[in-house]
Amino acid sequence: MRKSGSPKGLISYLVLELLDERPRYGYELLGEITDISGGHWEPSYGSVYPILHTFEEEGVAERVEREDEPDRKYFALTDAGREELAEKRREIGAEAEDFGDVVLGFYHLYSALATDGRFEVDDDGGDWEYSERYSAWIVEQTIRHHERDFGEFERIDATPEEFYAASTDGGGGSEATDAAADGDGSDASDAEGSGAD
């Protein structure tokens, strides 16, 4: 269970990966990360620019002069930066569960604001609302992205507890989720409505 926002080191990892691809400047990095998130998340200026300056001070990145844009501060990865990137890849790889918790946690909160009688959010004045319709749109978009990137979406008939147990015991991956799905035949409503994930 996450007790804060995005996984630690996520922004610096993304910056390193993008700089490894080619030199970039701060605002360009913000735009790239926003695009990767489908336009739904953008790190603040106050997070990306300090990262770039820290990388420069530590020799992880260096400024690159461009004749066509002399006033813009481009940064490129150094050899030390590539070593740092290899380490960050391992760190972020170990935080997949934390990342999933962020996604699931905020979706559960969104649904709670729509359905839990303790909350009385006044969303009449906004473009969005906390409702079944908008919840369905979020789920629909998630499925579309899944099918675009991974192939046909297949339901996993396992409670959160079964899924996590199979992933832990089975070492993760599709074999673990298949094992959870083939488990004791718990109906899907348990997984959908338990709120335990």
pLDDT tens digits, one per residue of 39-68: 998 888 888 999 999 999 999 999 998 878
pLDDT tens digits, one per residue of 73-101: 999 999 999 999 999 999 999 999 889 98
- pLDDT at position 93 is 93
- pLDDT at position 193 is 39
Helices and strands counted in the chain (H then E): 9, 3
- pLDDT at position 188 is 38
Give the CB-side neighbour count of residue 194, counting CA atoms within 13 A: 13
**Mean pLDDT score of the chain, rounded to an integer?**
85
**pLDDT of 3 above 80:** no
**pLDDT of 170 above 90:** no
State the DSSP string of 138-149. Answer: HHHHHHHHHHHH
Give the CB-side neighbour count of residue 55, counting CA atoms within 13 A: 33
Kindly report the number of other CB atoms within 10 A of residue 84's CB atom.
20
- Domain extents in the chain: 10-93, 96-193
pLDDT tens digits, one per residue of 128-156: 999 999 999 999 999 999 999 999 999 99
- pLDDT at position 114 is 94
The reply to whether CATH 1.10.240.10 applies to domain 10-93 is no
